[in-house]
């Protein structure tokens, strides 16, 4: 199926590509991972899910990703967060379920912090985090840098690492690593004020399931669920994984509905 052309939103001089589907509440907002785009398997699955259930669905590409403008090497967590908030504020109406995959999980957690700070907390009905990678620059990348990679970053401002998901190598810039420190969330209680459900593969080689368990330690004790998929990898894009995602969102939608008082 050929995707419809995207819309574009100018965010600080960069054209951010987005697609939106009109529908009911709560809507679904997709936040993709590092080097992924909004036409990936899980995003397309959610678009079909939203269509079948009459729900609004919003997705976009960060700068330097997919159909958006900008250079990938110029990207930072702060920049991609700013773009995500701009798209959300412009096109999301009413309560939304934020679905963040990998780095998108970090973006989702930072978004809810910023929305709370600006008095917009009621717009988030729930969080579904897929193999979430909060603080990945400090927790998952920097500790494993080799001496040669640290030299590359110091001398040229970036380093390259081969990827299992694309022929091009992953690029980690000095700016990305330094900016990550300004966006750390695993340093205290992350007050979400909404249900959180984490989906995590135990065979994930990129974001170990122990990282998801650590995230749980930083979330409030109430209304937090984690589902560990014993044979799941980082992508969680198999048919059974996608069906699990659908069930998780359906459950989140039910939990977001006002409960009738017993007479």
CATH 3.40.50.1820 fits 7-134+186-252, yes or no: yes
Angle at 96 between CA 91 and CA 102, to 5 degrees: 95
- pLDDT score recorded for residue 240: 98
Alpha-carbon distances of 162 from 12, 234, 242, rounded to whole Å: 31, 16, 27
Alpha-carbon distances of 215 from 131, 132, 212, 227, rounded to whole Å: 11, 8, 5, 13
Structure tokens at 228: 């560990």
Q: How far apart are CA 44 and CA 47, in angstroms?
A: 5
Pairing label, strands 24-31, 96-101: parallel
Q: How big is the chain, counted in residues?
A: 263
Pairing label, strands 196-201, 170-173: unpaired
Q: How far apart are CA 234 and CA 204, in angstroms?
A: 5
- pLDDT score recorded for residue 248: 98
Structure tokens at 90: 């412009």
- pLDDT score recorded for residue 51: 98
Q: How far apart are CA 178 and CA 259, in angstroms?
A: 44
**Per-domain boundaries in the chain:** 7-134+186-252
- pLDDT score recorded for residue 164: 73
Q: How far apart are CA 255 and CA 242, in angstroms?
A: 20
Pair 245, 130: CB distance under 8 Å = yes
- pLDDT score recorded for residue 221: 81
Tens digit of pLDDT at every position of the chain (263 positions): 567 899 999 999 999 999 999 999 999 999 999 999 999 999 999 999 999 999 999 999 999 999 999 999 999 999 999 999 999 999 999 999 999 999 999 999 999 999 999 999 999 999 999 999 999 999 999 999 999 999 999 999 999 887 776 677 889 999 999 999 999 999 999 999 999 999 999 999 999 999 999 999 999 888 999 999 999 999 999 999 999 999 999 999 998 876 554 44
């Amino acid at each position: 199926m050929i995707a419809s052309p995207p819309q574009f939103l100018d965010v600080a001089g960069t054209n951010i590509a987005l697609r939106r589907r009109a529908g009911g509440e709560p809507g679904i907002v997709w936040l993709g991972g590092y080097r992924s785009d909004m036409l990936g398997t899980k995003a397309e699955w959610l678009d079909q899910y939203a269509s079948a259930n009459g729900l609004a669905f919003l997705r976009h590409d960060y700068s330097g990703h997919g159909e958006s403008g900008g250079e990938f090497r110029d990207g930072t967590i702060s920049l991609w967060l700013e773009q995500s908030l701009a798209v959300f504020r412009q096109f999301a109406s009413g309560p939304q379920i934020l679905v963040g995959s990998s780095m998108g999980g970090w973006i989702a957690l930072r978004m809810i912090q910023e929305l709370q700070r600006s008095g917009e907390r009621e717009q988030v009905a729930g969080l579904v985090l897929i193999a979430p990678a909060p603080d990945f620059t400090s927790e998952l990348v920097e500790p494993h840098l080799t001496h040669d990679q640290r030299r590359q970053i110091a001398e040229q401002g970036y380093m390259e690492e081969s990827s299992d998901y694309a022929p091009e190598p992953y690029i980690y810039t000095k700016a990305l690593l330094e900016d990550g420190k300004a966006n750390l969330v695993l340093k205290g209680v992350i007050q979400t004020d909404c249900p959180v459900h984490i989906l995590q593969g135990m065979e994930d080689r990129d974001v170990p399931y122990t990282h998801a368990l650590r995230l749980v330690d930083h979330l409030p004790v109430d209304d937090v669920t984690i589902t560990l998929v014993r044979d799941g990898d980082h992508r969680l894009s198999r048919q059974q994984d996608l069906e699990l995602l659908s069930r998780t969102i359906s459950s989140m939608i039910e939990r977001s509905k006002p409960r009738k008082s017993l007479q």
